[in-house]
């Protein structure tokens, strides 16, 4: 079984569009048994998500997808939860894609499970000593000090150092995602759902491919020393997904996206692969099962 994995198409971004169209043409022509898109297909205006899926209409095999954080970016009056649980699966269904966040798919004795995943700050760099409230607000202390609506995070607190104020990063899920839960709550919910999907399919199959948009293990994160990057690591994923996948011996591959950083490495049982597509360059990964 030939599986082709793509990720981070970001089709709403004009500079990505031509690359994605080119990649989609090549993938449809080459063909395969299964196409997997590991999240961040398109954000905000929903027609871009649909336009992106339409590019793969001639792919001859099964088509699977997980959501990414950018796929649940919504306009001011909208709700990310509704987009995640209703709008995206409906559009997938309409374009021949199976939405792994909603349930596993079994193809010829191989199960595909998947989730957008999320982050609970378990990847955060503790040596920065940045208080948790900045991660919850998704702004670095330097950015909070400069932005009126976030100054309450700095003013009146004695725990913000000058070094922390060098961190001016803003993680924009904070502005565009409304899930109605804290990041930790949502991560736990996502992990519970993935565990249920694994438990459901494991007895029926010989092998499992897991697709998780956010990084499931810390080792997949790019190593960077710059303080803004060290702060942003907290939003790259959560250890809970990798720990769960490492407990299931039938998991053969784990496919991720999100960091835009290619990676291949071994977990306890599975090979962990990040497709590594970014805004300027689109990659694909092919695995034979
Ligand atoms: Fe992305
Ligand atoms: Fe992402």
Let me know whether 95 and 196 are in one domain. Answer: yes
**Domain end: 141, 166, 191, which one?**
166
254 is written with which tokens?
A: 């784990």
Read off the CATH number of the domain in which 260 is found: 3.60.21.10
Let me know whether 241 and 144 are in one domain. Answer: no
Let me know whether 12 and 153 are in one domain. Answer: no
pLDDT of res. 224: 87
Let me know whether 119 and 230 are in one domain. Answer: yes
Cα 158 to ligand 1 centroid, rounded to whole Å: 35
pLDDT of res. 193: 98
**Helix, coil or strand: residue 112:** strand
Let me know whether 154 and 232 are in one domain. Answer: no
241-273, pLDDT tens digit by residue? 999 999 999 999 999 999 999 999 999 999 999
pLDDT of res. 223: 87
Let me know whether 273 and 149 are in one domain. Answer: no
Nearest in space to 190 (alpha carbons), one of 214, 154, 225: 214
Nearest in space to 8 (alpha carbons), one of 91, 69, 78: 69
- pTM of this structure: 0.97
Cα 288 to ligand 2 centroid, rounded to whole Å: 25
| Strands 105-107 vs 207-212: parallel, antiparallel or unpaired | unpaired
Cα 39 to ligand 2 centroid, rounded to whole Å: 7
Let me know whether 234 and 92 are in one domain. Answer: yes
Cα 176 to ligand 2 centroid, rounded to whole Å: 13
203-230, pLDDT tens digit by residue? 999 999 999 999 999 999 988 899 999 9
Average pLDDT over residues 186-207: 98
pLDDT of res. 232: 97
Number of Cβ within a 10 Å radius of residue 133:
16
**Helix, coil or strand: residue 269:** coil
Cα 203 to ligand 2 centroid, rounded to whole Å: 31
pLDDT of res. 77: 87
32-73, pLDDT tens digit by residue? 999 999 999 999 999 999 999 999 999 999 999 999 999 999
Q: Which domain does 139 fall in, by range?
A: 131-166
Cα 129 to ligand 2 centroid, rounded to whole Å: 25
Ligand positioned closest to the Cα atom of 275: 1
For the chain, the straight-line distance linking the first and the last C-alpha, in angstroms and rounded, comes to: 5
Q: Angle of helix 239-246 relative to helix 183-201, nearest 10 degrees?
A: 20
Cα-based torsion angle of the residue sequence 85, 256, 105, 205 in order, rounded to the nearest 10 degrees: -140
Cα 285 to ligand 2 centroid, rounded to whole Å: 17
């Amino acid at each position: 079984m030939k599986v082709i994995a793509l990720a981070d198409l970001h089709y709403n971004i004009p500079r990505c569009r031509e690359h994605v169209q080119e990649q989609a043409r090549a993938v449809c022509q080459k063909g395969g048994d299964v196409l997997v898109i590991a999240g961040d297909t398109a954000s905000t205006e929903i027609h871009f998500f649909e336009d992106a899926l339409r590019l793969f209409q001639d792919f001859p095999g099964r088509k699977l997808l997980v959501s990414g954080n950018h796929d649940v970016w919504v306009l001011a009056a909208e709700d990310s939860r509704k987009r995640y649980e209703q709008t995206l699966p409906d559009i997938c269904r309409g374009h021949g894609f199976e939405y792994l966040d909603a349930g596993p798919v079994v193809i010829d004795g191989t199960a595909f499970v998947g989730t957008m995943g999320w982050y609970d700050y378990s990847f955060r760099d503790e040596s920065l000593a940045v208080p948790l409230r900045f991660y919850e607000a998704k702004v670095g202390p330097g950015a909070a000090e400069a932005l009126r609506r976030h100054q309450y995070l700095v003013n009146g607190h004695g725990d913000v150092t000058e070094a922390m104020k060098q961190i001016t990063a803003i993680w924009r899920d904070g502005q565009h995602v409304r899930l109605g839960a804290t990041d930790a709550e949502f991560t736990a919910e996502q992990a519970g759902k993935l565990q249920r999907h694994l438990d459901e399919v494991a007895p029926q199959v010989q092998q499992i491919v897991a697709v998780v948009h956010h990084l499931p293990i810390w080792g997949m994160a790019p190593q960077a020393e710059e303080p803004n990057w060290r702060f942003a690591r907290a939003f790259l994923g959560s250890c809970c997904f990798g720990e769960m996948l490492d407990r299931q011996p039938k998991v053969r591959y784990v496919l991720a996206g999100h960091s835009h950083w290619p990676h291949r490495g071994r977990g306890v049982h599975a090979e962990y692969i990040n497709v590594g597509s970014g805004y300027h360059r689109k990659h694909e990964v092919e695995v034979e099962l």
